[in-house]
Amino acid sequence: MESHFQIDSLDKKILSMITKNARVPFLEVARECKVSGAAIHQRIQRLMNMGVIKGSEFIINPAKIGYHTCAFIGIFLKKASLFDKVAKMLEEIPEVVECHYTTGEYAMFVKIFAKSNEHLKRILHDKLQNIPGIASTETIISLDESFKRQLPIE
């Protein structure tokens, strides 16, 4: 279990600003927080070193590059001890973008993007269901993503 890090009100204000816009200039954050640019840089570096900030990224819109089908797949394993081996093999499938070890009905839950329903069928049939250790899968196709967000900084 990860430990909870102590962050103060300045850290919270910085996190609130940069999670809304990861490309906001440090000097703009500094002006808003009424501290120096160097202080912001040091704070962000400290938050990164502590693992509070995991990085920044450009987010690609899957539909704009031809991936029109998003699906979630519940995976039943033959044995729970196979999780690590199955996860490593799932990581080799580029269309699988998330993999979670879960409680409940499924041992694993993955998110996948495909170009079409036909492409999804090929991935399921030719790749996913051929992974040793997977007993069966259940696929749920997403019709639309209503929202996606970061946790609020409180």
Taking a C-beta distance cutoff of 8 angstroms, is the pair 99, 110 a contact? yes
- Please give the pLDDT value at position 1: 43
- 76 forms beta bridges with 136
pLDDT, the chain, mean? 92
Asked if 7 and 47 count as a contact pair (C-beta separation under 8 A), the reply is: yes
**Any bridge partners for residue 108, and if so which?**
75, 101
Q: Which run of H or E residues covers position 101?
A: strand 96-101
78: left (phi over 0), alpha (psi -120 to 50) or beta: alpha
The angle formed by the CA atoms of residues 62, 66 and 69, to the nearest 5 degrees, is: 65
Query: Between 15 and 1, whose confidence is greater?
Result: 15
111-136 pLDDT, tens per residue? Answer: 999 999 999 999 999 999 899 999 99
Closest CA to 83 of 95, 93, 91: 91
pLDDT tens-digit readout, 56-83:
888 899 999 999 999 999 999 999 899 9
Q: Which domains does the chain have, with CATH numbers?
A: 9-50 (1.10.10.10), 62-142 (3.30.70.920)
Q: Is the pLDDT of residue 97 over 90?
A: yes
2-28 pLDDT tens trace: 456 688 999 999 999 998 888 999 999
